[in-house]
């Protein structure tokens, strides 16, 4: 049996990152798990026969140091999953300034730092046959949600980063996959208890569904996917075509209940 391909997954300690790690391991990948919570990472790594490193992706120097250690063990990185993210409820008028800075640093810049740090490993894998980058963005990257303006802005930036990187790496044998999940029920994003709209609560999905779609996208070479397609892709199109209408609907329907 050949050596397993190496996948680095950020934000792997819970939620979508944990689910993606489980799905990749099931499909034969050797996962190197990154997140801030060592206890959860270690437990999952043992279960998946993988590796783990504590890492705050918002800290560029820490990312560089962690990547150097991983690349020393695994010079070829066939997959980088930029999944780490934090919530940021509140409008631009009332959100805590430190939280606003944090969501930009983690949700957007974290992926940039990881791409740069793991570039040598990705290029090595590309020369050996091919490599992949998965950027787990959000439908919030296409729709401007006023009640969570800082989060939406960070995800818009992350989407631009992912699409720009897709163009940058075209022809390099490093395939970029942009994943846009809708509302997903996770520890950090308890959508079913926070969303006011009963209709929107019906479309909340589980992390396992996203993980399966991510793994399928890698295997089938899909560049950009929305999970699930309905109704979120339609909302993204509506934002582009009729932004005023979507803004009015978003103000009434997508607000979160108070903590």
Catalytic residues: 151
Which stretches does DSSP call E strand in the chain? 6-10, 30-35, 51-54, 79-82, 131-136, 174-181, 224-227
* Alpha-carbon 44 to chain mean position: 18
| Cβ atoms 144, 239 nearer than 8 A | yes
Q: Residues 6 or more apart from 136 whose CB is under 8 A from it?
A: 16, 17, 20, 81, 82, 83, 85, 179, 181, 210, 214
- Note whether 217 and 205 are within 8 A (CB): no
**Is the peptide bond between 60 and the residue preceding it cis, with omega within 30 degrees of 0?**
no
Q: Cα 245 vs. chain centroid, distance in angstroms?
A: 28
Please give the structure tokens belonging to residue 105. Answer: 């640093």
Q: In the 8-state DSSP scheme, what is residue 136?
A: E
């Amino acid at each position: 049996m050949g050596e397993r391909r190496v996948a680095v997954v950020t934000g792997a300690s819970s939620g979508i990152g944990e689910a993606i790690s489980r799905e990749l391991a099931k499909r034969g990948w050797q996962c190197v798990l990154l997140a801030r919570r060592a206890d959860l990472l270690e437990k999952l790594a043992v279960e998946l026969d993988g590796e783990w490193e504590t890492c705050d992706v918002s800290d560029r120097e820490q990312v560089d140091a962690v990547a150097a250690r991983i690349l020393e063990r695994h010079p070829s990185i066939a997959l980088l999953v930029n999944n780490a993210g934090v919530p940021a409820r509140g409008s631009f008028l009332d959100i805590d300034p430190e939280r606003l800075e944090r969501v930009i640093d983690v949700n957007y810049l974290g992926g940039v730092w990881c791409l740069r740090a793991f570039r040598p490993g990705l290029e090595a894998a590309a020369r050996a046959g091919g490599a992949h980058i998965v950027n787990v963005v959000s439908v919030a990257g296409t729709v401007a949600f006023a009640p969570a303006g800082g989060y939406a802005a960070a995800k818009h930036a992350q989407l631009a980063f992912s699409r720009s990187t897709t163009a940058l790496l075209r022809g390099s044998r490093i395939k970029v996959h942009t994943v846009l999940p809708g509302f997903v029920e996770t520890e950090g994003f308890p959508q079913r208890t926070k969303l006011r709209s009963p209709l929107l609560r019906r479309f909340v999905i589980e992390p396992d569904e996203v993980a399966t779609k991510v793994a399928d996208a890698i295997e089938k070479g899909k560049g950009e996917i929305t999970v699930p397609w309905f109704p979120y892709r339609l909302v993204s199109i509506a934002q582009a075509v009729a932004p005023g209408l979507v803004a009015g609907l978003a103000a009434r329907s997508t607000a979160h209940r108070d903590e």
